[in-house]
Amino acid sequence: MHPDPNRPPLSPSTIAVTAGRPSGAGAPLNHPIVMASNFREGGEYTRTHGTETWAALEEAVGALEGGRAVSFASGMAAASAIVYALAPKVVVAPTVSYMGVRALLSEHQAVGHIEVRAVDITDTVAVAAAAQGADVVWVETPTNPTMETADLAAIGAAAASAGARMVVDSTFATPLGQQPLAHGAAIVLHSGTKFIGGHSDLLIGLCVTGDDAVYDRLIAARTYQGGTPGSLEAFLALRGLRTLPVRLAAMERNAITLVERLRAHPGVAEVRYPGHGAMMAVIVRGGAAGADAVCAGVQIVVPATSLGGVESTIERRQKYAGDAHVDPGLLRFSVGIEDVDDLWADLAANLPTQQEIRRDPRQAMSSSRIAGVDSSP
């Protein structure tokens, strides 16, 4: 919305820069980092009422998504708050999605709090059927790490007609890539740790809703579960958000060029890229060994488990027990803002060559998996 109702609505790039700023003559351009848990009488307590640092971030993210935002200690704290806030009995959830959220829902199922109905989120008919009698339809799009996409408009309509609430984990899309509230989502979830923060230096989570009763429940979840964000993290996340439009544009330009080059490379079996954004899944020929060789050899792209920062990161996901079902050669690739030719030279030097593929066409061998508590981002 434009502050002046007689002028056209602002573009997201402008909202990212302007929302959540102090106003009034002489005001600083940024809200301060309020390092206080306690306030003098007449004031409040931070866990229950937040601070102006949180409020500034929440105002900006809420403005971009078209709702009211609540900030949390991490994306997982935000996901846990959703389960608390909506208290569902039956949850439809993607078979393939971020493994930490799947683990969270399984944990609740294991102790009898909820029943999870796992569905292929790309199969809208199956999702609509599963929504019958469900309380929540949990969507992640694009999915981590397989880059599948869901039809938000159709699933939103199906959930509404079944009387279920749609929750959308929009972390990979960012608030600029899609606005799930416009498709009827009750809550949008972001791991702000990723693209919103954008510099791999903080953990933060956000939920956004257009429903005042749901907003109150999310505040209650934060107050009683205690998953509060740090003030420095909230400040840095908002500082990151200011440049999200330019970072994302640069990342997307790089991603589009790299997708073309990767698809033409003999060492690559498949590239999954939804056509926009900075995330892609690259399936390398030679299975686990071929993909591990890329991770071991790259010098500019960083082999690392998180994503969404200015630096390009890559990871072979099937090594985690929680992602055991994905292709052994799948590399999740978060494209950064480096020079695209430098990135390409780094990748091309480490992808399997034509000769290597000819020498051993069955190179698909599995490597050991990391077991145990499994919620690598």
Ligand X SMILES: Cc1ncc(COP(=O)(O)O)c(C=O)c1O
Give the pairing type, strands 330-334 and 165-169. unpaired
Rule CB under 6 A: say whether 206 interacts with ligand X.
no
Least Å distance between CB 283 and ligand X?
19
Q: Compute φ and ψ for 50, nearest 5 degrees.
A: 70, -170
DSSP letter string, 232-284: HHHHHHHHHHHTHHHHHHHHHHHHHHHHHHHHT-TTEEEEE--SSSSEEEEEE
Contact status: 100 vs ligand X (CB under 6 A): yes
Smaller CB distance to ligand X: residue 65 or 346? 65
Look-up of token digits 């700023």: 21
Q: What is the dihedral of CA 87, 89, 91, 95, to 10 degrees?
A: 120
SS3 158: helix
What mask, x for binding ligand X by CB under 6 A, covers residues 157 to 196? ------------x-x-------------------x-x---
| Residue 329 sits in the site that holds ligand X (CB under 6 A) | no
Closer by beta carbon to ligand X, 248 or else 268: 248
Q: Is 101 in the site for ligand X (CB under 6 A)?
A: yes
- 229 scored as a contact of ligand X (CB under 6 A): no
Nearer to ligand X, 206 or 268 (CB): 206
Among 67, 85, 98, 217, binds ligand X (CB under 6 A): 98
Please state, in angstroms and rounded to a whole number, the distance separating the CA atoms of residues 198 and 351: 27
313 binds ligand X (CB under 6 A): no
- Nearest approach in angstroms of CB 376 to ligand X is 8
CB of 194 to ligand X, least distance (A): 6
CB–CB of 335/222 below 8 Å? no
330 lines the binding site for ligand X (CB under 6 A): no
Q: Note the Cα 214 to chain centre separation in Å.
A: 21
Count of residues interacting with ligand X (CB under 6 A): 15
Give yes or no for residue 205 binding ligand X (CB under 6 A).
yes
| Minimum CB distance to ligand X, residue 193 (Å) | 4
Output the CA–CA distances (angstroms, integers) from residue 263 to 10, 170, 268, 269, 334, in the order listed. Answer: 37, 26, 7, 8, 16
**Does position 203 bind ligand X by CB under 6 A?**
yes
- Residue 140 is a binding residue for ligand X (CB under 6 A): yes
Q: Report how far residue 75's alpha carbon sits from residue 53's, in angstroms, rounded to the nearest whole number.
A: 18
User: In angstroms, how far is CA 147 from the centroid of its own chain?
Assistant: 12
Of the candidates 184, 210, 169, 144, the residue with the CA atom closest to the CA atom of residue 75: 169
Contact range with ligand X by CB under 6 A, out of 74-82, 180-188, 250-258, 360-368: 74-82
Q: Which stretch binds ligand X (CB under 6 A): 71-79, 110-118, 152-160, 262-270?
A: 71-79
Shortest gap between Cβ of 377 and ligand X (angstroms)? 3
Stretch that binds ligand X, among 33-41, 94-102, 236-244, 282-290 (CB under 6 A): 94-102
* Contact status: 234 vs ligand X (CB under 6 A): no
Distance CA 201, CA 108 (A): 30
Cβ-Cβ contacts under 8 Å for 363 (sequence gap 6 or more)? 285, 286, 287, 289, 290, 352, 356, 357
Q: Does 92 bind ligand X (CB under 6 A)?
A: no
User: What residue ranges bind ligand X (CB under 6 A)?
Assistant: 74-76, 98, 100-101, 140, 144, 169, 171, 191, 193, 203, 205, 377
